[in-house]
Structure 1
């Protein structure tokens, strides 16, 4: 049985949660952290994923890719590319399909990976983390993504999960996942017939600021309005601090960290730590050793100075709040509570700005770092066929209007707005078309001018076959089932032709009719389903061939990483055995080896040690095992004698104790 897995794919850190033991648990990683760095690094032989990538980031800055969620589905020529590019230390390049990829040096040669591949690498890493920690099978996942993700980006993130060997049962907006955590675990919500509790839920993470206005009742919630600022987050605060010190160090130490990526990255990492310190203190020291040119730097920053540095950011705080309230047709007076999540909401001046915008105090009953992952895990559990969870109904809203178009045939119109802007989903609509033969349909954004620049207007295309028009008819009615699914994807579930048939239906007898009255019938014309149509879809999802190729590639890289790790383990085991055996040979093993055996074994140890630090520094797993076994062939004989003697002593001691009793 698969354990439901919820993934908050953060821009800086990802949080993993699973539904088990009648609850939701956050999974710690290999170093016992409750969040995992969202980055992928590349080395000479293997990849550095998560924690290992963060450890090596400073020394491997050009081959470390972060901000993965920002470039997935992004066009290289998108106006926003320049905004994103400044946050990357690795080189971003244009792929054949016009999307953004990363160029890194891996395995001694330059390689290019798409954002979908890079994200899959991280997802594969955290999947294995969950498997090892929970000792269970992980097959299904619910992924939490930014509310501003387009349909294309949702398909891309789903493909990343599939490349990592997971089934993405649902793609959910991160603020909705947090809201589910609130709705499921809050015990004081109004009943079904009572006035709903209106909550403003503000999520400010590493790169994005989202505000949703949500109505809660027991067992259900509905989004009334959502707005966001996709370029407002913790990384903007970090960069403001870094730029401040870059100017200061240029005057004070005559160094320009902007010209040295490693130096800039070191100051950026230190700036993030300083930001956190200033959330609890009014002033804090700042120092980094050997930033560049062997120069140590030091300074300090006060909370007031930080607030002045980020003043342009703070002026943008009210915009998403105002927009979401307008969308919900509410005012700040209609909001009962304001909940905050996301690490950046810990900054005091930002909390004050949000509180002032709503005109009321803030609540933080949710865990600011883990609420999204826990909500995603609960949503994944809802989709599990084997788990029973507390019933909870929730609806999100679509930010953009979506219309469906089709071939002009018969007397039909050729388009229809099916899912208006701000309409709730999941949602299903049935439409009837009059068709004269096989036809095509498209899902399109109704007003492309309202989309983020660079977003394709066409969402998906379908081709339908098998339309047979009976003789004597000009057309045949076709029923098409359109759906905005739980992941916010606009799809067509099926289509089928209709036909009219005549049936005999009994006419109801009057109440005073005699018992032997003969039943009467009437002819009734009914429209019924006739033939299911063949359907071929063209979406943003990878085609099966491309998907399988990328799955195989990821499996190869995973096996390669595993082999490198195992080889390093065998090398370390050999090195440890050399030092341990040499020490014991002169101590506890001394009386259990002849002088000839000692000389021979010491020579073997010295020879192997010299090989290990020379030709054997970069050898194979099999070679390290062979060297180990060569030493152990004699070392274990001596160890065996020692253990036998120790066992004899223990038996003698036990017999002595028995005699004394």
Structure 2
């Protein structure tokens, strides 16, 4: 079973996997630890991740970015209008959702942002599968804290389209907090003052700040605040506008009239911004930015800070709001952990450090902290890994209310109720009670629409309760509905049932005995043996049956999701065929060059003059075809051309291989003979050694004895009787 955590970033995405010795961030097909969050569309196939980045500048109108921020929104959303400044593909309405119109396989196609996110998750799945060498299905995905129910449902739908099972959709700062806390062995105990940490996450496009309290084995998010339009891309935009004006005056070119020129400058200023994070001055040199004009300039760090002053003025806004909601002051905070690529900007760090009056902490990897925390969460949810117990108590960020139609039988009934308040612990379950005689509907919506991002529709879902009727006495049916805000931050009415009130007898609890009076030597039990415990009749509700429910939410219906999944599978097959065709084309090209070289070298002695001339002619013909008509041929055609060459070259190659095999056998035989001779020599020496170790047998003595050997007569022993 795979254990994968993914940080779905606006600029890049990071994949982390849990292994037996901890959590590792894995690399993609070009060995990068972060994969560009891009999907491009071409005449033959899609380009996803690194491939999309490589062709972005030449295929701007068919390359889609920011799809994580676009999913679950409508084209009229003000935030979507902001994204148009950063997405090069045209954004359009697709069946009520925002999407992109692109040219794919030579014709115009419309894809929703949810579909495009599903395509990207398919590549994430393939990358993780290649690394783990196991099928990947279970993941935990990170998303911005401020995402609404509709946006969260869109991410879950996208993961379904990609064939992934999202075990938890986790807020970015909560994932970071989990990665921070689960490795700490010195957290305070249950009775001690908690460790309070502020997590500041400033990424490419948004800024979040969370106040989190840690105790041993648990974390609790106390407050979260954000600025949805604050990050690295807004610094890049300010720099691009600055240099655009400078180039107009200095080089008489307008980069804003040419999308490719603007993109080249955008890529240049991104590098310049990174250089200024560590240096006081940085150069900008771009060759042939447009109209064959080369541009060059420099920028000082002070000039950059002046350009982004409107951003810097908002640098502590989310932190101040988060502390106010948690009812804390800067001095109450034990540590300030900084994550996100934009936290490398010196002026931002200085502004935040000055606000707290204490040094900032950078103990976490700024680019990988979210993915690592998500992988830890996935490991906790997986039965395969044993992970230290660590509870995560997230919080509700937007209050949610239910509304319903007034019942004619209850004229003074309230018709709305805020069920989940801001700051409540999440996940959370509430039981709603209704008295009804007929089926009824209720709607869930955000109680304070003005707090939502952009002008998001506050509507969450409509739930119909069926099977409601009068009871046998003509009274109301008591209906109970189970509303749950789950681990994804998504609201559902999970079940409905009805109860009946019945009278039951229960014993009356005896009053607690008073404390012994001073001077009492003992207690006297005045209770008689035949006294029975007193009882009382009480009404209790007993569950009698289920109530069928139907729900309408922002999630895709099953038919639409199935169609999107089928379309995705078709495109995967198209991509695979194109990749296989390209590989076959490369194989044919390599084969031609290899034979051209070897027919004059190692194969020369194994081919007759006629075979050489026929093979050379065939190679010339197929090479000309390859760079002319064969530039865009099918896989079958490339395979056919390889076979044509093999029909002539095959016998030559076989003779060469036979000769090589014959020589190999001769060498092998010599080796075997040498080895046998060596073994025989070893055995001979062994036998000689063994012979030397055996004792020598005494030689037969001569018949005549020497004088020394003659026995004297008086020394001869008499035989005993």
TM-score relative to the length of structure 1 = 0.95
Query: What's the offset of the Cα at 1:119?
Result: 0.9
Aligned counterpart, 1:360? 358
Query: What's the offset of the Cα at 1:525?
Result: 4.6
Query: What's the offset of the Cα at 1:468?
Result: 3.4
Q: Confirm whether residue 283 of structure 1 aligns to residue 276 of structure 2.
A: no
- The residue correspondences of 1:412-451 to structure 2 (distance < 5 A) are 412-451=413-452
Q: Do 2:170 and 2:488's aligned partners in 1 also have CA atoms closer than 8 Å?
A: yes
Q: Do 1:201 and 1:213's aligned partners in 2 also have CA atoms closer than 8 Å?
A: yes
Query: What's the offset of the Cα at 1:53?
Result: 0.4
- The residue correspondences of 1:623-638 to structure 2 (distance < 5 A) are 623-638=637-652
Deviation larger for 109-118 or 406-415: 406-415
Change beyond 3 A, Cα 1:293–1:447: same
For each residue in 1:397-420, what CA deviation from the matched residue of structure 2 results, as whole angstroms up to 9, or x when unmatched? Answer: 222211112232343432211111
Query: What's the offset of the Cα at 1:178?
Result: 0.7
Q: Which among 617, 625, 629 is matched to residue 631 of structure 2?
A: 617
Aligned counterpart, 1:585? 599
- The residue correspondences of 1:89-104 to structure 2 (distance < 5 A) are 89-97=88-96, 99-104=97-102
Aligned counterpart, 2:28? 29
Q: Do 2:38 and 2:64's aligned partners in 1 also have CA atoms closer than 8 Å?
A: yes
Query: What's the offset of the Cα at 1:387?
Result: 3.4
Change beyond 3 A, Cα 1:585–1:511: farther
Change beyond 3 A, Cα 1:652–1:37: same
Aligned counterpart, 2:684? none
Secondary structure of the corresponding residue to residue 80 of structure 1:
helix
Deviation larger for 634-643 or 487-496: 634-643
Q: Which among 542, 556, 559 is matched to residue 542 of structure 1?
A: 556
In 2: Cα distance, 1:271 partner to 1:518 partner: 88
In 2: Cα distance, 1:397 partner to 1:519 partner: 47
Where does structure 2 lack aligned partners over 5 or more consecutive residues? Answer: 511-524, 679-721
Aligned counterpart, 1:532? 546
Q: Which among 287, 310, 317 is matched to residue 319 of structure 1?
A: 317
Q: Confirm whether residue 600 of structure 1 aligns to residue 601 of structure 2.
A: no
For each residue in 1:162-220, what CA deviation from the matched residue of structure 2 results, as whole angstroms up to 9, or x when unmatched? Answer: 11111122211111111110111122221222111111110000000111111111211
Q: Which among 555, 559, 565 is matched to residue 579 of structure 2?
A: 565
Q: Do 2:153 and 2:554's aligned partners in 1 also have CA atoms closer than 8 Å?
A: yes
Aligned counterpart, 2:197? 199
Larger gyration radius, structure 1 or structure 2: 2
For each residue in 1:255-302, what CA deviation from the matched residue of structure 2 results, as whole angstroms up to 9, or x when unmatched? Answer: 111111111101111111111111122222211111111111111222
In 1: Cα distance, 2:561 partner to 2:178 partner: 32
In 2: Cα distance, 1:655 partner to 1:471 partner: 100
Aligned counterpart, 1:489? 490
Query: What's the offset of the Cα at 1:655?
Result: 4.6
Aligned counterpart, 1:65? 64
Aligned counterpart, 2:212? 214
In 2: Cα distance, 1:64 partner to 1:405 partner: 42
Aligned counterpart, 2:298? 300
Q: Do 1:219 and 1:391's aligned partners in 2 also have CA atoms closer than 8 Å?
A: yes
Change beyond 3 A, Cα 1:251–1:521: closer
- The residue correspondences of 1:143-542 to structure 2 (distance < 5 A) are 143-409=141-407, 410-411=409-410, 412-502=413-503, 525-542=539-556
Change beyond 3 A, Cα 1:524–1:100: closer
In 2: Cα distance, 1:476 partner to 1:496 partner: 10
Deviation larger for 316-325 or 17-26: 17-26
In 2: Cα distance, 1:450 partner to 1:344 partner: 25
Query: What's the offset of the Cα at 1:100?
Result: 2.0
Where does structure 1 lack aligned partners over 5 or more consecutive residues? Answer: none
Query: What's the offset of the Cα at 1:520?
Result: 10
Aligned counterpart, 2:522? none
Q: Do 2:73 and 2:150's aligned partners in 1 also have CA atoms closer than 8 Å?
A: no
Query: What's the offset of the Cα at 1:236?
Result: 0.8
In 2: Cα distance, 1:387 partner to 1:478 partner: 41
In 2: Cα distance, 1:651 partner to 1:35 partner: 51
Change beyond 3 A, Cα 1:390–1:610: same
Query: What's the offset of the Cα at 1:78?
Result: 2.1
Aligned counterpart, 1:7? 6
In 1: Cα distance, 2:112 partner to 2:539 partner: 57
In 2: Cα distance, 1:429 partner to 1:591 partner: 86
Secondary structure of the corresponding residue to residue 620 of structure 2:
helix
Q: Do 2:436 and 2:469's aligned partners in 1 also have CA atoms closer than 8 Å?
A: no
Secondary structure of the corresponding residue to residue 182 of structure 2:
helix
Query: What's the offset of the Cα at 1:337?
Result: 0.4
Secondary structure of the corresponding residue to residue 214 of structure 1:
strand
Change beyond 3 A, Cα 1:464–1:575: same
In 1: Cα distance, 2:356 partner to 2:142 partner: 26
In 2: Cα distance, 1:626 partner to 1:125 partner: 31
TM-score relative to the length of structure 2 = 0.88
Query: What's the offset of the Cα at 1:105?
Result: 1.6
In 2: Cα distance, 1:349 partner to 1:149 partner: 28
Q: Do 1:200 and 1:335's aligned partners in 2 also have CA atoms closer than 8 Å?
A: yes
Q: Do 2:439 and 2:466's aligned partners in 1 also have CA atoms closer than 8 Å?
A: yes
Query: What's the offset of the Cα at 1:646?
Result: 2.0
In 2: Cα distance, 1:505 partner to 1:400 partner: 43
Secondary structure of the corresponding residue to residue 625 of structure 1:
helix
Change beyond 3 A, Cα 1:406–1:313: same
Change beyond 3 A, Cα 1:358–1:106: same
Q: Do 2:79 and 2:453's aligned partners in 1 also have CA atoms closer than 8 Å?
A: no
Secondary structure of the corresponding residue to residue 645 of structure 2:
helix
For each residue in 1:338-361, what CA deviation from the matched residue of structure 2 results, as whole angstroms up to 9, or x when unmatched? Answer: 000001101111111111122211
Change beyond 3 A, Cα 1:624–1:496: same
Query: What's the offset of the Cα at 1:482?
Result: 1.6
Q: Do 1:75 and 1:454's aligned partners in 2 also have CA atoms closer than 8 Å?
A: no
Q: Do 1:321 and 1:357's aligned partners in 2 also have CA atoms closer than 8 Å?
A: no
In 2: Cα distance, 1:205 partner to 1:520 partner: 67
Change beyond 3 A, Cα 1:249–1:506: closer
Query: What's the offset of the Cα at 1:383?
Result: 2.4
Aligned counterpart, 2:76? 77
Q: Which among 630, 648, 651 is matched to residue 662 of structure 2?
A: 648
In 1: Cα distance, 2:422 partner to 2:592 partner: 70
Query: What's the offset of the Cα at 1:21?
Result: 2.1
Secondary structure of the corresponding residue to residue 14 of structure 1:
strand
In 1: Cα distance, 2:429 partner to 2:380 partner: 20
Secondary structure of the corresponding residue to residue 194 of structure 1:
coil
Change beyond 3 A, Cα 1:506–1:206: closer
